[in-house]
């Protein structure tokens, strides 16, 4: 099993290109199930989760081809010859449940295993189920599989209010409603850029949708959708992660393809911490304002608030900041599993339930540490950039689910980092 060896070596400078958003691509790919015509996605990220979704779609009868060094994905779902999303594939990745809505809408039925992914809390499926039931679907849980059926004449447009703004449930509902009979309205919809990106793609395919990016999305059902070509939006979590590289290690880095509106709440916290973020012709430039980083308090919230997927990385930065910060996690339980590993590097962290108190230390020390989930793994690498000596991060298979070519991107700005064979 691979590990990553990081040696802290001072300020970094250069450019880092930002890939297409994993979470956007994983919602866009199942949209192929809504149409018999081809869907082509450009600016696709090259990640193991994308391969898993490709395998899942192929198992349902879709054709999936990767082109242009895997940055273009060509999908065609003319023949859906299997309507069961099998546990062996679904267990690998949470986003597998996004095939449920499209299959129901187009084929009138679907059998989908309960999903897997990172072990960061319950992430309930019931919010997906109630959303699709609002459109007339009947859904039963048997032997770990959701058995879903649409009414004989297809899904029926309806108004549905979600108890919280779930991204996945918003995506499932919107995709299903594109082919429903009549008008649907989703209240308390998620507002993330990935939702906006999905809607823009569905609109290119002929869907009639308005209100994306707001809490109320309205969908007028159509009889069929056609093919389209669509570029995947830049990954705001990858963007935020790499913005922290010069913040924690010093120096100045330009993030190619970055946009301020993707990470506005995050930029506000960086500004408070003494980190300058400015727009360039090609993206965003980030550097420390006057040397030391200041402690800031962070509370994770649904978009447009501070993203839970940047909490671990922000904690790494706060470990070396001046003063004491409080980090409150409101989205997922069990999401401070990186704290004990950062403490192995000399960090001063106290965790109480959903809150972590981080008192900045002068220096972190390199140490052998273990990744527990995707974002935790990259927080340890960031900490390694700022630490004295060598940090060996094991179990980095988590990392490959969310960051493409991480070592190469960091090497390009001067970091001493390499992948090594694990023990």
Alpha-carbon gap, residue 371 to 313, rounded angstroms: 13
User: Tokens 């267990």 belong to which residue?
Assistant: 91
Angle separating helix axes 311-318 and 374-386, nearest 10 degrees:
20
Alpha-carbon gap, residue 70 to 289, rounded angstroms: 38
Q: What is the DSSP string of 331-390?
A: S-TTTTTTHHHHHHTT-EEEEETTEEEEE--S--B--EEE--SHHHHHHHHHHHHHSBSE
Contacting residues for 341 by C-beta, under 8 A, at least 6 apart: 369, 370, 371, 372, 376, 380
Could you tell me which of 243, 276, 205, 238 has the C-alpha nearest to residue 43?
A: 238
| Largest pairwise CA distance in the chain | 66
The catalytically annotated residue of 118, 201, 267, 319 is 118
To the query of whether residue 267 is one of the catalytic residues in this protein, the response is: no
CB of 166 closer than 8 Å to CB of 191: no
CB atoms within 10 A of CB 81: 8
> Which ranges of 251-328 does DSSP label H, i.e. alpha helix?
264-272, 311-318
DSSP state of 132: H
CB of 59 closer than 8 Å to CB of 103: no
Pairing of strands 324-328, 355-359: antiparallel
Q: What is the DSSP string of 145-208?
A: EEEEE--TT--B--EEE-SS--HHHHHHHHHHHTTSBSEEEEES----HHHHHHHHHHHHTT-E
Catalytically annotated residues: 118
């Amino acid at each position: 099993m691979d590990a990553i060896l990081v040696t802290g070596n001072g300020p970094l400078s250069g450019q880092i290109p930002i890939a297409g958003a994993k979470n956007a691509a994983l919602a866009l790919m199942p949209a192929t199930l809504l149409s018999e015509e081809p869907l082509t996605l450009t600016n696709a990220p090259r990640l193991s989760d994308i391969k898993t979704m490709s395998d899942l779609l192929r198992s349902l009868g879709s054709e999936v081809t990767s082109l242009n060094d895997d940055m273009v994905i060509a999908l065609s779902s003319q023949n859906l010859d299997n309507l069961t999303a099998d546990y062996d594939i679904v267990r690998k990745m949470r986003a597998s449940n996004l095939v449920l809505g499209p299959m129901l809408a187009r084929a009138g039925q679907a059998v989908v295993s309960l999903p897997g992914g990172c072990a960061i809390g319950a992430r309930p499926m019931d919010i997906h189920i109630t959303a699709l039931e609002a459109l007339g679907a009947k859904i039963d849980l048997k032997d770990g599989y959701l058995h879903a059926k649409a009414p004989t004449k297809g899904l029926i447009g309806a108004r549905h209010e979600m108890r919280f703004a779930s991204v996945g449930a918003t995506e499932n509902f919107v995709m299903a409603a594109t082919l429903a009979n009549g008008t649907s309205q989703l209240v308390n919809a998620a507002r993330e850029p990935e939702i906006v990106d999905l809607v823009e793609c569905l609109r290119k395919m002929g869907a009639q949708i308005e209100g994306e990016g707001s809490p109320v999305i309205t969908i007028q059902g159509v009889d069929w959708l056609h093919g389209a070509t669509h570029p995947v939006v830049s990954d705001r979590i990858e963007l935020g992660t790499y913005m922290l590289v010069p913040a924690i290690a010093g120096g100045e880095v330009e993030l190619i393809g970055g946009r301020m509106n993707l990470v506005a709440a995050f930029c506000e916290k960086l500004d408070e911490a003494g980190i300058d973020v400015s727009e360039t012709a090609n993206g965003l430039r980030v550097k420390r304002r006057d040397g030391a980083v200041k402690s800031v308090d962070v509370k994770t919230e649904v978009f447009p608030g501070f993203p839970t997927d940047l909490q671990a990385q922000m904690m790494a930065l706060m470990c070396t900041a001046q003063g004491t910060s409080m980090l409150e996690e409101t989205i997922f339980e069990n999401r401070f599993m990186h704290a004990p590993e950062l403490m192995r590097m000399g960090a001063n962290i106290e965790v109480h339930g959903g809150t972590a108190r981080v008192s900045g230390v002068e220096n972190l020390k390199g140490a052998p540490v273990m990744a527990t989930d995707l974002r935790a793994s990259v927080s340890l690498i960031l900490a390694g950039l700022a630490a004295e000596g060598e940090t060996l991060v094991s179990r980095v298979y988590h990392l490959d689910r969310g960051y493409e070519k991480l070592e190469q991107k960091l090497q390009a700005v001067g970091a001493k980092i390499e992948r090594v064979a694990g023990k």
